[in-house]
């Protein structure tokens, strides 16, 4: 079976709109130039993150911004992914129920986030949506990003390293920096496979094979 996660390239899009072009031509960046991200640029990118949609406008997440070189080198070692240490900035996205719990207490409101899976589900989505807003903003400003999902496996180490209190737990890491070369857009399953009109339609074995083969 051919891997869907291979390195096959997508043809460049011909979209006229620059935002659509940005979205269609995006790709994860794993090779960074040594150039530092100017504070003003990073600030805009982070602003785009905290402006993201969030259930009930609660923003139940925190972002740990890591610019310290030795901390980034340590993260790279932990994750077993050397390029993490080459990125000038790493952002650790965490669900943050501590801030919400404290706020609830101070305003004499009930705090129920820890009592249902639904709350976890929404907080998780909020956190990722913010991260993706940051990716798009970063791309727009000539930066490149790559998610690192393996942080989930190093919870105790990260908790210690970044002094995460109870109620704050990592979801994903995002490396950001100036790309050495523009990342090549990867081939994706087409819209006609991913989008179902009005109801779910199961692909035939032949269609399924063709979709992944292509």
Ligand X SMILES: Cc1cc2nc3c(=O)[nH]c(=O)nc-3n(C[C@H](O)[C@H](O)[C@H](O)COP(=O)(O)O)c2cc1C
Q: Which residues bind ligand X (CB under 6 A)?
A: 5, 27-28, 30, 81, 146-150, 172, 186
Q: How far is the CB of 209 from ligand X (least distance, A)?
A: 21
Q: How far is CA 61 from CA 57, 91, 98, 107, 174, in A?
A: 11, 12, 9, 19, 14
Q: How far is the CB of 119 from ligand X (least distance, A)?
A: 20
Q: How far is the CB of 128 from ligand X (least distance, A)?
A: 7
Mark out the alpha helices in the chain (DSSP H runs): 18-24, 39-50, 69-79, 83-86, 97-106, 117-140, 155-161, 191-194, 205-213
Q: How far is CA 51 from CA 77, 120, 122, 127, 137, in A?
A: 32, 20, 16, 12, 11
Encoded tokens for 208:
């399924």
In the bound state with ligand X, the residue whose beta carbon lies nearer, of 152 and 203, is 152
Q: How far is the CB of 106 from ligand X (least distance, A)?
A: 33
In the bound state with ligand X, the residue whose beta carbon lies nearer, of 62 and 81, is 81
Q: How far is the CB of 29 from ligand X (least distance, A)?
A: 8
In the bound state with ligand X, the residue whose beta carbon lies nearer, of 167 and 183, is 183
CB 26 within 8 A of CB 139: yes
In the bound state with ligand X, the residue whose beta carbon lies nearer, of 59 and 127, is 127
In the bound state with ligand X, the residue whose beta carbon lies nearer, of 100 and 158, is 158
Encoded tokens for 152:
């989930």
Q: How far is the CB of 198 from ligand X (least distance, A)?
A: 28
C-alpha neighbours within 13 Å on the C-beta side of residue 172: 19
Would you give the end-to-end CA distance of the chain in angstroms?
12
CB 49 within 8 A of CB 133: yes
In the bound state with ligand X, the residue whose beta carbon lies nearer, of 81 and 104, is 81
CB 151 within 8 A of CB 92: yes
């Amino acid at each position: 079976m051919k891997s869907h996660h291979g390195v096959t390239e997508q043809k460049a899009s011909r979209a006229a709109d620059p935002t659509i072009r940005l979205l269609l031509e995006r790709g994860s960046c794993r090779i960074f130039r040594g150039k530092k991200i100017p504070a003003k640029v990073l600030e805009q990118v982070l602003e785009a993150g905290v402006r993201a949609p969030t259930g009930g406008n609660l923003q139940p997440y925190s972002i740990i911004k890591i610019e310290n070189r030795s901390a980034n080198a340590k993260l790279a070692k932990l994750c077993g992914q050397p390029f993490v240490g080459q990125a000038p900035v790493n952002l650790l996205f965490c669900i943050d129920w501590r801030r919400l719990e404290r706020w609830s207490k101070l305003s004499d409101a009930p705090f129920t986030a820890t009592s249902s899976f639904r709350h976890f589900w929404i907080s998780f989505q909020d956190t990722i949506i913010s991260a993706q807003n940051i990716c798009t903003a970063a791309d727009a400003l000539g930066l490149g990003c790559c998610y690192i999902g393996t942080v989930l496996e190093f919870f105790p180490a990260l908790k210690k390293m970044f002094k995460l209190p109870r109620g704050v737990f990592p979801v994903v890491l995002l490396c950001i920096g100036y790309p050495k070369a523009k990342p090549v857009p990867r081939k994706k399953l087409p819209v006609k496979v991913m989008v179902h009109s009005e109801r779910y339609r199961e692909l035939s074995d032949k269609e399924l094979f063709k979709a992944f083969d292509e």
